[in-house]
Structure 1
Amino acid sequence: MKTTPRIITVANQKGGVGKTTTAINLATALAAIGERVLIIDLDPQGNASTGLGIDRKDRSVSSYDVLTGELEIEQAAMETAVPGLWLIPSTLDLLGIEMEIASAPDRVLKLRNALRAASQRSAAYSYVLIDCPPSLNLLTLNSMAAADSVLVPLQCEFFALEGLSQLLETVDQVRRSINSDLTIQGIVLTMFDGRNNLANQVVEDVRAHMGEKVYDTVIPRNVRISEAPSYGKPAILYDLKCSGSQAYLQLASEVIRRERKLRAA
């Protein structure tokens, strides 16, 4: 029997919050515990692709080809160095995608249609994670239209709640107009430094405002996480024992627990 993958978009319109780092390390952690995972890199910068060791010159196919209908999901997906983890990479072609598909009546549904068609053909993946650009554009709308839920990485800094309210408003708009089933999967606090009083205050404030939507796991500020992309590896492969890698493994367990709870409800 074919099973539909759980589709999670990793989104925050603010850059530098650990969005791509969260996407690739969560995907790696899920693969490490036996899930079959696909990452779709929808960010023209292509950082998720680089962080998984896929050089720009090796990206002969990309998410652009999926959105324009040139390739199916299976044709665009490539294996990574992580067993059980596949990637549809990004190229700079994505910068022109809005003009390319702007006149199409299904322009915000391109990715959803492609994923649904793929799941009808096979049950290749149990999870699909979509890494969005740090902006609210047609690419982000495509990811939210396709997703079951949104995972929000939130940096432990002063303006965190302000940016979060904007993103939640966008999710509400998408729910009303495009994807009525879209939910907030969870909010993950990133780049936490326990020595910083402000960071501790942000954690308290976000938990007070968002309650159970905030994951118990907090991702620490960690130099090994920062180094890993320059080696083309997720932090979990680069240094499994560092505090950042261990936190992402804990986060993966939390994600799975939440998903099981949702399915049982």
Structure 2
Amino acid sequence: MADPVVIVVGNEKGGAGKSTLAIHIVTGLLHAGKRVAIIDLDLRQRSMSRFFANRAAWTSANGQTLPMPVEPDMGDGKELARAAEAEQLARFEVAFAEARAIADFILIDTPGGDTVLSRAAHGLADQIVTPMNDSFVDFDLLGQVDPVTLELQKPSIYSESVWEARKHRAITQGRNAAIDWIVVVNRMAVAAARNRQRLEERMEKLARRVGFRIGPGLRDRVIYRELFPFGLTVADLSNEVRPVAVSLAHVAARQELRSLMLALGLDGGQLDAPLDAAA
């Protein structure tokens, strides 16, 4: 069995949509027939873990069958958050080894902030996916701009963290083991704005400087949130699975997810399946 692809969803800023992005990537992979293992390193919140617990409960209650990832047991998250760093790393290493033995893909959701577990996960990544909101507030963790001219000055703290992860991977696995880093603008407002144009220009300059790709994100749609309590995403919707009324907005959201999957180099073809919607 070939080594699994390790995808780390990371950004040191909270509220950027990491868990939303993570659960959509996982369900996209599951519907593409991939064996997926998940590790949720946001030990206190555990949004991704809760999402898939909701999924198991909803499908059981409604007599439905949907693909599920495997989640190695790291114990109680809140308890582990209070443990020493050595204990946290030890449990993560055991969980990662279990995931590596059974999965085609390992998806790791990381917390907002710099933690020992987040650094360890980034060092193992084949691909890092960084969501950010359509804002210079979020961009500040990637790059610093001049407060007068808004010209890009230098990479910021999260870019430096990814650089360290790339350096660690090159040392431990060789120079050919490069990390593919993709930054996606998540929760983007529908209307275009002058501020977005400014932000996009700085993003492109920083991308060339520190070496990331810019990919399509997920717009700020209610439908991405309304399905969370059921443990479902737009990838799951079908004529049989539709806990909410399906509209044209759901169809558009599936195409957004398909575009994201393709930008990550993942299979998004299953999202082309027709979804009947009320006009």
Q: TM-score, normalised by structure 2?
A: 0.69
* Aligned ranges 1:1-265 → 2 under 5 Å: 2-43=1-42, 44-54=44-54, 82-83=66-67, 85-88=69-72, 93-97=76-80, 100-103=83-86, 108=89, 111-112=92-93, 114-116=95-97, 119=100, 122=101, 124-164=102-142, 165-177=156-168, 180=171, 181=177, 183-197=179-193, 198-211=195-208, 213-237=212-236, 241-256=250-265
1:242/1:233 CA distance change after superposition, 3 Å: same
C-alpha separation between the residues in 2 aligned to 1:50 and 1:40? 12
Per-residue CA deviations over 1:85-123 (Å, capped at 9, x if unaligned) read 3334777x333436534356xx6465346434654xx4x
Q: Which amino acid aligns with 2:219?
A: P
Larger radius of gyration: 2
Return the alpha-carbon distance in structure 1 between the equivalents of residues 170 and 92 of structure 2: 13
Question: Counterparts of 1:132 and 1:21 in 2: how far apart (Å)?
Answer: 12
Please give the per-residue CA displacement for 1:180-225, whole angstroms capped at 9, x wherever unaligned: 4562431111111241412343234313321573344232121101
5+ unaligned residues in a row in structure 1: which ranges? Answer: 58-79, 259-265
Rounded to whole Å, the distance in 2 between the matches of 1:230 and 1:19 is 17
Distance 2:86 2:39 in 1: 23
Deviation at 1:178, TM superposition (A): 7.0
Residues 21-65 of structure 1 show CA distances to partners (whole Å, capped at 9, x for unaligned) of 1000011112222222122111120111222344899xxxxxxxx
The answer to whether the 8 Å contact 2:183/2:215 transfers is no
Distance 1:214 1:177, change over 3 A: closer
Q: CA RMSD in A?
A: 3.3
C-alpha spacing 1:116/1:52, structure 2 compared with 1 (3 Å): closer
CA-CA distance at 1:8 after TM superposition: 1.1
Give 1:84 shift: 5.5
Q: Distance in 2 between matches of 1:230 and 1:201?
A: 36
User: Quick check: 1:149–1:184 contact (8 Å CA) kept in 2?
Assistant: yes
Ranges of 4+ aligned residues in structure 1 off by more than 6 Å: none
Cα distance in 2 between the residues matched to 1:222 and 1:231:
17
Measure the CA separation in 2 of the matches of 1:130 and 1:141: 12
* Residues 115 and 25 of structure 1: CA distance in aligned 2, closer, same or farther (over 3 Å): same
C-alpha distance in structure 1 between counterparts of 2:234 and 2:74, whole Å: 20
Aligned twin of 2:145: none
**Structure 1 residues 32 and 175, CA, compared in 2 at 3 Å: closer, same or farther?**
same
Structure 2: gaps spanning 5 or more residues:
58-63, 143-155, 172-176, 238-245, 268-279
**1:192 match: secondary structure:** coil
- Is this contact kept in 1: 2:29–2:266, CA < 8 A? no
CA drift at 1:176: 3.9
Identity %: 21
CA distance in 1, matches of 2:163, 2:91: 20
- Tell me the secondary structure at the aligned position of residue 6 of structure 2: strand
Contact 1:9 1:151 in 2 (8 A): yes
